[in-house]
Amino acid sequence: MVTFIPFGEKPNRDGVLYILNYLRRNKLLEDYMIVESSNIELLADRVPRDKIYIIGEHLASYGIVKSLNPPSLLSIDAHTDLMHDYLDHASWLAYALEERIITRAAVVGAVLMIPTTERTSLWTRRVKIFPALLRSKKVGHRWKAYKNLQTSSVEDVIHEARKYLGENIYLTIDMDVLRPEYRISRFQHGELTLDDLIEILSKVKENFNILAFDIAEISERIRRSRLGKKALVEVFQLLSGG
């Protein structure tokens, strides 16, 4: 079964419901349910134990993992979501780590909110970051490059993530990791093409046992995006086994 969570502001809610109907029209969806909540804590109590979630605002992933309590999490995202001010779509992963809802996490494909110094305001404990582009961080008095998708192969990055996270993971894919022309999310987009994303997800499937996954940050922009709909369907089919 697929659980649809139209969580967040109206553009996110409308986007999730649009995709539900789009998948139904194209006979890509059979059993499904809709879970609604305007409160993240209430959402955690309402989320069923499912394998597939399609969600609006990425904060909903916090509610899902709070319900499922997986050991580790792998996020494919243009942002690290490691802000540490208040709980929202830009900080949910930091809070999930701080509250030990998950033990470890890794973020692949990030271009924004990447820690660069030891005094960063971003959460840095029990998480590894594999940026899309070459980025460095200051460790002591030296600068050290992150392992990244620009200078390392996808296979090397996912192998490193597997060593850190272990076999069993919850997987979350924020569709803003794709370039701007895909027009799926409302926020700044990343640097990946659909081919890049499919390659990453194929390696994730080979190396991990995916306990459950979500496809996040769907907004109503996808209604007018041919590339966006194609990307979402290909990701959905790859991970759902369709």
Query: Distance between CA atoms of 16 and 18, rounded to whole angstroms?
Result: 5
pLDDT of residue 185: 85
In the three-class reduction of DSSP (H, G, I as helix; E, B as strand; rest coil), residue 74 is classed as: strand
Structure tokens at 74: 């792998």
The CATH classification number of 2-240 equals 3.40.800.10
DSSP H or E segment with residue 204 = helix 194-207
Q: Which residues pair with 2 in a beta bridge?
A: 32, 52
Q: HSE (CB half, 13 Å, CA atoms) of 7?
A: 32
Residues 171 and 208: beta-carbon distance below 8 Å? yes
Helix, strand, or coil (residue 62):
helix
pLDDT in tens, 22-34: 999 999 999 999 9
| pLDDT per residue as tens, the chain (242 positions) | 999 999 999 999 999 999 999 999 999 999 999 999 989 989 999 999 999 999 999 999 999 999 999 999 999 999 999 998 899 999 999 999 999 999 999 999 999 999 998 777 899 999 999 999 999 998 878 899 999 999 999 999 999 999 999 999 999 999 999 999 999 988 789 999 999 999 999 999 999 999 999 999 999 999 999 999 999 999 999 999 85
Neighbours of 116 (CB within 10 A): 13
Q: Where do the domains of the chain lie?
A: 2-240
- Exposed / middle / buried, residue 202 (Cβ in 10 Å: 0-12, 13-18, 19+): middle
Q: Are 172 and 57 a contacting pair, CB within 8 Å?
A: no
Instruction: With beta carbons less than 8 A apart as the criterion, state whether 187 and 79 touch.
Output: yes
The C-alpha atoms of residue 205 and residue 80 are separated, in whole angstroms, by: 21
pTM of the complete model: 0.96
**Angle between helix 226-240 and 194-207 (nearest 10):** 10
Kind of pairing between the strands at 136-139 and 142-145: antiparallel
